[in-house]
Amino acid sequence: MLGAIKRELFEGIRAAVADAGYGHDVDPSAVELEAFDDEEKGEFSSAISFAIAADAGKNPMAVADELAASHRERGLPSGVASVTVVNGHINYHLDVERMARRTLSTIDAEGSAYGAREREDPDRIVADVSSPNIAKPLHVGHLRNTILSDALMNVLEERGHDVTRDNHLGDWGTQFGNLLHEYVEFGDAEAFEADPIAHLLELYQQFERRDGLLEDVAEFGALTDGFETAVAEERAYHVDDGKEWFARLERGDEAAVERWEQFRESSIERFEAIYAELGVEFDCWLGESFYAREGWNDRVVDRALEDDVAMRGPDGSAFIPIYPDDYDDGGAPDSDGVDPSLDRAREALDEAGSVEDAAFDAFYIVKSDGSTVYGTRDLATIEYRVSEFDADQSVYVVASEQNRYFQQLFVAARKMGYSDIHLEHIDYGMISLPEGSMSTRGGQIVTVREVLDAARERARDIVAEKGRNVEGDEVDAIARKIALATVKYGMVASNRGKDVTFDIDEAVSLEGDTGPYVQYATTRAYSILDSAPAVPAVDGIDPAAFNDTDYNLLYHLGRYPLVLERCEERYDAAPLARYLLDLAHVFNSFYHKNRVLDAESAAEERLVLTDATAQVFENGLGLLGIDTLAEM
Ligand code: ARG
């Protein structure tokens, strides 16, 4: 209901501004939700008077008085008791009894749909989620991605959009040529059978290590010419053969494809086991290979060249030049901000003599050896999403390491003429465990498996130590849910852009700012409800019986839909995670300060309130993919 009031207040202010004859644009951000019972600011306030006064050369206090008076006269929304002006701010104070009644009846009526929105014209959103590379284990970075994207897509769906989750696997590219080479030379069918990902990772690292070593030797300068030639030959033997394997793969050569398919399928099988454990699903797994094998790469390459958006380099490669000013609003959904012509690039290339030195960035779509690259597949993906999905948005949950790349991709896409689709890189920071930061280099990766096992073990200790009335098999089942709450909450609690150190010992605690803490608050609500004979009907209770602690809790329940709105605006689940933590704190203090079951007054009212709180916990935790627990 706070969302509805906020909207009505914004409309009222807009009308008041127009009535007063100010030609000022008012948008919904003119009204802000404040804390509950803020004596000065009220629950909602607006600072619009300052901007209007500045435009009109007036005093902001006078403008605020004028607008407040006009708004009062037009009538305040139902649920708002009064409007005041303090220091030029227009402040609105809730009618708490009305708020209580409206909030409780809305939650009662909507139940598990409380917070959800229906739209006449939802956006069709196709999202890259998880998207690991095959032949390598899932590491904590993927864990953050998978959990964040699942929660965020749940929220976008709850907000009424039509979401397709695409696990855009990294399953194509020169590295798989290298891996095929290495496997053919050194692979071991038994080792592959036993643990495909481990074996392939080993081979891949061996290839890289050798190549790096040979490069160092070549750079250092060999002792004799013969030695130098031998080093160069050895390097070429592996690298050229790797390239040849990838070329075969791109040509559809049967032997190459068959082996590659084994790599891919065995990787997917392992990934799926982990996804199942996390309770995460996808609508499709197209992967980079799809666009290569189904002709989508060729389609975009041909078109880019035909339309003179891409040009050939001196070595036969093809790229889309990106000029420095293209970046200014490169991701914006219209192509006006980018210069698709090649004239500047041709001139710059003439002047500099090489692509590397020229005054533009080259977004490659074909390498000199004719093979495609990562960026080709991403342009092909956009083409596919536009033409096959008729997508309104193509969004990418991908680590912020790739920020620059996505800026370039979006500029290139605009140059290609994809101007109506909203492109969004939903980036997120690095995740490390306290021991140090993760990196796939040098084999020092922390896998998802390790993190999940560690969380499970800690959770089991906690249940064994603190669990009431739980025994045997139940301990395991509960520990599993607590472990998931630990990991899932930990992955989304910080704003996604931030780097995070994930400390399992802290994250599993029932006392800190953790998932299990929120879970525990919910269990407490359930146990109150369990001990009550029945939850009374909302219509029968008297909201005047509530005290300020109750109203504070009601206010938090009422703001839940606004939190989801904020998540949508920011493409982040962190506001929801933080909200649930706040709600848990507020509910705990409600529980400690008030009597519920044996209250002298308001016992019925508080049961209804507790029931509504449990519902909001369920809805919010559900979106984060966290189960609630009847016992813990
Ligand atoms: N597979 C890539 C990686 O692990 C991420 C892919 C992201 N999606 C994309 N369309 N580029 O780095």
pLDDT tens sequence across 565-608: 999 999 999 999 999 999 999 999 999 988 777 777 888 999 99
* Whole-number pLDDT of residue 632: 82
Mean pLDDT of the chain, nearest integer: 93
Q: How confident is the model at residue 439 (pLDDT cuts 50, 70, 90)?
A: very low
Edge-first strand order for the sheet with 500-501 is 436-437, 431-433, 500-501
Cα 131 to averaged position of ligand 1 atoms, centre (Å)? 6
Task: Look at residue 445 in the predicted model and tell me its pLDDT.
Answer: 78
In this predicted structure, which of 216-220, 309-313, 360-364 has the lowest mean pLDDT? 216-220
Q: What residues form DSSP beta bridges with 311?
A: 319
Pairing mode, strands 393-399 and 422-428:
parallel
Q: Whose CA is nearest to atom 10 of ligand 1?
A: 378
Q: What is the pLDDT of residue 134?
A: 97
How many Å apart are CA 344 and CA 406, to the nearest integer? 22
CB 456 within 8 A of CB 525: no
Mutate to test the pocket of ligand 1, among 398, 403, 445 (most ligand atoms within 8 A of CB): 398
How large is the average pLDDT for residues 402-414?
96
Lowest-confidence segment of 66-70, 281-285, 470-474 by average pLDDT: 470-474
Best of 128, 129, 130, 131 for a ligand 1 pocket test (most atoms within 8 Å of beta carbon):
131
Q: What pTM did the predictor assign? A: 0.94
Q: Is the CB of 79 under 6 A from ligand 1?
A: no
* CB proximity list for 105: less than 8 A, separation 6 or greater: 538, 539
The number of beta carbons lying within 10 Å of the beta carbon of residue 27 is 9
The closest residue, in CA terms, to atom 1 on ligand 1 is 170
pLDDT tens-digit series, residues 329-366: 766 655 567 889 999 999 999 999 999 999 999 999 99
What is the model's pLDDT at position 437? 38
Provide the pLDDT confidence category of residue 440 given band limits of 50, 70 and 90.
very low
- pLDDT surpassing 90 at residue 125: yes
288 lines ligand 1 (CB under 6 A): no
Residue 203 scores a pLDDT above 90: yes
Could you identify the atom of ligand 1 that is nearest to the CA of residue 377? 10
Measured between alpha carbons, how far is 199 from 194 in angstroms, rounded to an integer? 9
User: Is 141 a pocket residue for ligand 1 (Cβ < 6 Å)?
Assistant: no
pLDDT (average), residues 390-413: 97
The Å distance, Cα 504 to ligand 1 centre, comes to 27
Euclidean distance between CA atoms 575 and 577, whole angstroms:
6
Cα–chain-centroid distance for residue 516?
21
pLDDT tens profile 234-251: 989 999 999 999 999 999
Task: Report whether residue 168 contacts ligand 1, using a CB cutoff of 6 Å.
Answer: yes
- Strand 431-433 and strand 422-428: the pairing is unpaired
Write out pLDDT tens, residues 552-562.
999 999 999 99
- Distance (angstroms) between ligand 1 centre and the Cα of 180 equals 21
Ligand 1 binding pocket includes 133 (Cβ within 6 Å): yes
Strands 500-501 and 361-366, sheet pairing? unpaired
- Asked whether 398 lines ligand 1 (CB < 6 A), one says yes
- Rounded to the nearest whole angstrom, what is the distance from the C-alpha of residue 86 to the centroid of ligand 1? 51
Given the CA of residue 406, which atom of ligand 1 is nearest to it? 11
Out of 168, 268, 286, 383, mutate this one to test ligand 1's pocket (max ligand atoms within 8 Å of CB): namely 168
Q: Is the CB of 170 under 6 A from ligand 1?
A: yes
Cβ of residue 396 lying under 6 Å from some atom of ligand 1? yes
Question: Which domains are assigned to the chain?
Answer: 2-94 (3.30.1360.70), 162-282 (no CATH), 286-428 (3.40.50.620), 509-623 (1.10.730.10)
Q: Residue of the nearest CA to atom 5 in ligand 1?
A: 131
